[in-house]
Structure 1
């Protein structure tokens, strides 16, 4: 027997037309529409609030000069290290519904504090640096939690069909966020912070809607239980499971490529534009271009690509786009080429590779979906940022130009593509073995996972 779908609104003429339109955009099946729309709205509010503040972050990151970026990346990594045990403690004691609310409201309060500091003009350079670090931490934590919630409530097969459309909700928010920032910039940063905090609260309410409406309601009692374990369980899962270590390696290579490109972006922008306002406008315009292209790809391409060619296609596109961006900027290091290359690479990441990467987590245990995933996407990702930031600074001090770095990146790109293929094949085998929702126990490799005593098979 199949699990009963979550409660849906009764059929009526009021729902018929929107559902027909939705089914033209995405392959949604009976019992999935409410959860799909909840996920879309959740990600929309989350990224709209973040993108209200992101252009300001990128501009303030250059306030002390591009030579200070590696220090900011290192500080972000240290803060991540300090926060991961705190996150582990929260997941140990509370179920996701509770700890997600605590974390989101904590960050919303932080936004209001920063808004007040900017409005009062308190220690502007110091606050700008702290803000850069804080928003880098905030973004990774809240987005990682979002995808963990999705991985818990959707299967691998559903993820291939639906994650692209849900990601489009985030892209729509990323489109509206910079537009609102430009429209309301005359009101001051404090009001932007207030609006961002309100959007984060709306995201939390959409998260709760998703948790109520998602398929698999037969597991609702288990989902109300704390994750248990201990504060460092996520790190131990990564050490013991080859599949998770492969995801770590993929994210590290992604982080290295992104950071080297970000540093070159900082150098070119700092040399081309003198004031913070002009830099903020450039970054906002680039974000707008990325969001438009991402939305087009997510609605028209992502779901069809992942259904037809599998996760491998989405994973492979990111190393290819990264190498293309390296080559373009190395040969033509101008502001126009920089914006075009970075926009295309980021659009491929957000629209195609990120949904494919998140499908990798759907075959993990509930604990790994939150704890191991959080470690990977916070500490590992920002650790890669910090390490690659110092490598970029060392390369610059040694006289190795960006063209030389692009040539050196050829071999890692080939390894990245090989790793992408391995991860995709491994995910497909794990999904086919029927261990979704059951989880991967340490050392289980591809064999069916051992369920915990209180975990029942899906009906």
Structure 2
């Protein structure tokens, strides 16, 4: 880092934005556009998720566990195709291809529901479940990959939390829109509404791509060029890098725990409701109130925890909260406690852990930011779903039920906590302490660009 950088003038900060989050005056437009982008993506996803869960439960819990396996297989098959597109397409065509494909699928499902309702059955419901689960991961992964590339490590710690508020508002708006629109428009129309939000997200992505390169001082042709490389580069990078392997392990443990909660929820919901519409309504209400808790966390604690205590502590909060919640559920065993556990788990995961976890990727190069991240956020994530579903099912068949599940959760939570703390230290070692500001004009001395180029890998730590 140049010696002249510390004395360079820092951008002024706006009072209102600074009171809510550590956003500098020259960053607010990028934060607002990124938050609106995330709002549209999460609104589209949450419009449809209660329907997916209700359809998945129609053939029982064992069928849902096998749907997890099918989702993991499809996700693994799609990963090389996505990496191939990353290697060959410029940034906006890549985004357009990804979101355009999902919009086309939504139109196809709408046409099937609208013009051939007699063809809809359990099999088509399972196909939609698997498709939506893959769509859910890739839609959010592409969003975060773009942010990881454009923001540096310092900005990731400061800005990802307020940007996540946009996604939380979308996650609240989605179930609300489902409840408001399903009666007057019908279920098929919800697919088109979700597609419209994805198209709006694509327009905002174009705006974000135009905004950030222009203000970072890096030529657009250089920043938006195809990444290149092999379609399997991301998978190889995860197994070769202790840092990436650590992130993968953290995600794996996180999804195993989330799957334990998911199946516990489905079993309790199945006990209080026996038809698809009622189950969908109950699940939608849980989702909505959970997102309200997420929003409260994001507006009050997230940014402060990350900035004051660092990424390691922020990553350790979720495993500790999950372990405490499962112990409480084992003691009381009520539906109310389950809702509180899931709300707390999701609130911490999305309000604190997700921004911290995404900030870990700001220490990576462009290729890893897309390819390795895609492998971790999709296949490793779904692999954790499969592992968690099978472990939960095996414990249930052995008669251990919730007590046996707690015996698995608590030891895993301690390992998960230690891994989160290590990742926080590893990120600090891999990034330059005084990272340059995102959108400040270049000073007389050379500065690095946003995203991966704004960080300097240090010696690879060993877990």
Q: Give TM-score scaled by structure 2 length.
A: 0.89
2:8 maps to what in 1?
none
2:95 maps to what in 1?
100
Q: Distance in 2 between matches of 1:391 and 1:293?
A: 29
Asked if the contact 1:240–1:443 (Cα under 8 Å) also holds between the matched residues in 2, the reply is: no
Q: Distance in 2 between matches of 1:333 and 1:393?
A: 18
Residue 217 of structure 1 and its aligned partner are, at CA, apart by 3.6
Of the three residues 109, 133, 146, the one matched with 1:136 is: 133
Bigger shift: residues 293-302 or 346-355: 293-302
2:364 maps to what in 1?
364
2:196 maps to what in 1?
198
Residue 115 of structure 1 and its aligned partner are, at CA, apart by 2.1
Asked if the contact 2:431–2:457 (Cα under 8 Å) also holds between the matched residues in 1, the reply is: no
Distance 1:165 1:372, change over 3 A: same
Cα deviation digits, residues 203-261 of structure 1 (max 9, x gap): 11111111122252415332221010010000011111100000010001001101111
Q: Note if 1:42 corresponds to 2:37.
A: yes
Residue 78 of structure 1 and its aligned partner are, at CA, apart by 0.6
Residue 440 of structure 1 and its aligned partner are, at CA, apart by 9.0
Residue 144 of structure 1 and its aligned partner are, at CA, apart by 0.7
2:444 maps to what in 1?
none
Distance 1:22 1:200, change over 3 A: same
Residue 91 of structure 1 and its aligned partner are, at CA, apart by 0.7
Q: Distance in 1 between matches of 2:458 and 2:131?
A: 36
2:281 maps to what in 1?
281
Q: Distance in 1 between matches of 2:121 and 2:76?
A: 26
Of the three residues 166, 171, 174, the one matched with 1:169 is: 166
Q: Distance in 2 between matches of 1:442 and 1:295?
A: 34
Bigger shift: residues 270-279 or 83-92: 270-279
Asked if the contact 1:255–1:385 (Cα under 8 Å) also holds between the matched residues in 2, the reply is: yes
Residue 444 of structure 1 and its aligned partner are, at CA, apart by 5.7
Aligned length: 434
Cα deviation digits, residues 256-299 of structure 1 (max 9, x gap): 10111111111111122111111111111111111111111112
Cα deviation digits, residues 377-423 of structure 1 (max 9, x gap): 10111011112212221211121211111022221111111111100
Cα deviation digits, residues 71-120 of structure 1 (max 9, x gap): 00000001001100110110111122211110101001111212232333
Residue 22 of structure 1 and its aligned partner are, at CA, apart by 3.2
Q: Distance in 1 between matches of 2:219 and 2:389?
A: 43
Q: Note if 1:151 corresponds to 2:148.
A: yes
Residue 36 of structure 1 and its aligned partner are, at CA, apart by 0.6
Q: Note if 1:31 corresponds to 2:16.
A: no
Q: Distance in 1 between matches of 2:71 and 2:325?
A: 25
Q: Distance in 2 between matches of 1:409 and 1:391?
A: 11
1:453 maps to what in 2?
none
Of the three residues 437, 442, 457, the one matched with 2:452 is: 437
1:455 maps to what in 2?
none
Q: Distance in 1 between matches of 2:219 and 2:259?
A: 40
What is the SS of the residue equivalent to 2:25? coil
Distance 1:298 1:392, change over 3 A: same
Of the three residues 77, 83, 87, the one matched with 1:82 is: 77
Q: Distance in 2 between matches of 1:409 and 1:285?
A: 26
1:68 maps to what in 2?
63
Distance 1:191 1:57, change over 3 A: same
Asked if the contact 1:76–1:382 (Cα under 8 Å) also holds between the matched residues in 2, the reply is: yes
Q: Distance in 2 between matches of 1:97 and 1:310?
A: 33
Q: Distance in 1 between matches of 2:216 and 2:272?
A: 53
2:255 maps to what in 1?
255
What are the within-5 Å matches in structure 2 for residues 16-27 of structure 1?
Answer: 20-27=15-22
Residue 442 of structure 1 and its aligned partner are, at CA, apart by 10
Residue 443 of structure 1 and its aligned partner are, at CA, apart by 11
What are the within-5 Å matches in structure 2 for residues 45-444 of structure 1?
Answer: 45-119=40-114, 120-121=116-117, 122-186=119-183, 187-214=185-212, 215-432=215-432, 437-438=452-453
Q: Distance in 2 between matches of 1:372 and 1:299?
A: 30
Q: Distance in 1 between matches of 2:222 and 2:394?
A: 50
Asked if the contact 2:152–2:455 (Cα under 8 Å) also holds between the matched residues in 1, the reply is: no
2:439 maps to what in 1?
none
Runs of 4+ in 1 over 4 A off after TM superposition: 433-436, 439-444
Asked if the contact 2:237–2:372 (Cα under 8 Å) also holds between the matched residues in 1, the reply is: yes
